[in-house]
Amino acid sequence: MTSDTVQPVVRRFADSVRMRLADQLVAELSAQPSLGVYHPRFAYETLWNEYCHDRQREDREGYDALWRALIRPRVADLVGAIPDDEAALLSFAAKWHVYGDDWPATTPLDRPAIGEFMLDGLRDRAMDANISAFTPIGESSGAEALLDDDDVDPDPEKWELTDDDHMVLGAITGAVRGLISAANGGDDLIAIGEALEAIRCIHEGEGVEVNVGLTMGGRVGDENGEDGTFVGLRINCEEIILDEMTTTYRPEVGSDNSSSRFAELGQDGGFPGDLVDEWIERLHAVSAQEWADLTTERDHL
């Protein structure tokens, strides 16, 4: 059997395995309740509904990091359970798919490539899904269900931003995405996703419909006293607030706290890039501490 005949056979085998595993993931995501990360108007019931919504959106940047954190570990678990002999065969098709015919001469077993191969299968399933059947707003079609005219703000508050302001927002986006690994569960992931979506809306001049806060920090001490540091971000329809609060406790004098705002970024723009950079440095420094924990607050406006 020549290579010209072997490759189609391997590809057909790999495609059947890929779609079988994708269907397993669909079943798993369909059994999980929705995060509620999208507007309540959509009324999605399962995580799979929300993933399909995300994949079919024209502008998906805001939630990419959120879905990576939710989906990739599940894919890695499935791929890790594939026996080595089967995985070695799958690796050929996966590398043809990911790298093209001139894939790098690495070891035959390439589970990361299989993971990307599987992810594309899941994405295909999501793109083919009829999301209008997932929600009571099913009369409309396409990725974004159309809302009644009375439900849409005809003139959302727009942020007047310069190119420098957009660069500052990009830096904040990176800092927020860095908090995903610190999420303690679904509520934290939803809050991070809403913060990222709010920043995307500000970038695009759309209205912000959430009031969400993210705080990284904690307290450390012993019987002689305790010190705490909390670096936070809050986003609502009017502003982005970047701040830090410190607390102290001493048995002989009691508790005290102080707070400082690095920046208040409003709709008029003119964001102070140097202060935002300072806030990001503080966030990174606190996040690196073993005692630091993420807390979140969220509310739709």
Q: What digits encode the pLDDT tens for the residues 210-239?
A: 889 999 999 998 888 999 999 999 999 889
**Residue 247 clears pLDDT 60, i.e. is over it:** yes
Q: Are 49 and 131 in contact (CB under 8 A)?
A: yes
Residue in the block written with tokens 């934290």: 188
C-alpha 70/C-alpha 51 separation (Å) is 10
* Higher per-residue pLDDT: 7 or 17: 17
C-alpha 82/C-alpha 39 separation (Å) is 38
Task: Please state the length of the chain.
Answer: 301
| Residue 106, pLDDT score | 58
In sign, the C-alpha dihedral spanning 197, 203, 205, 211 is positive
The model's confidence at residue 280, banded by pLDDT at 50, 70 and 90, is very high
C-alpha 150/C-alpha 171 separation (Å) is 36
Neighbours of 169 (CB within 10 A): 20
Q: Are 214 and 296 in contact (CB under 8 A)?
A: yes
Note the Cα 186 to chain centre separation in Å.
11
Q: Are 162 and 205 in contact (CB under 8 A)?
A: no
**Residue 137 clears pLDDT 70, i.e. is over it:** no
| Residue 143, pLDDT score | 36
In sign, the C-alpha dihedral spanning 102, 103, 106, 109 is negative
Tens of pLDDT, residues 90-133? 888 888 777 776 665 555 788 888 888 888 889 888 898 887 77
Q: Residue 93: helix, strand or coil by DSSP?
A: helix
The CA distances from residue 110 to 87, 93, 221, in Å, are 8, 10, 46
The CA distances from residue 184 to 62, 109, 176, 292, in Å, are 20, 33, 15, 12
C-alpha 148/C-alpha 151 separation (Å) is 5
**Residue 57 clears pLDDT 50, i.e. is over it:** yes
* 72, two tokens: 């990739």
The model's confidence at residue 4, banded by pLDDT at 50, 70 and 90, is low
**Residue 209 clears pLDDT 70, i.e. is over it:** yes
* Higher per-residue pLDDT: 261 or 150: 261
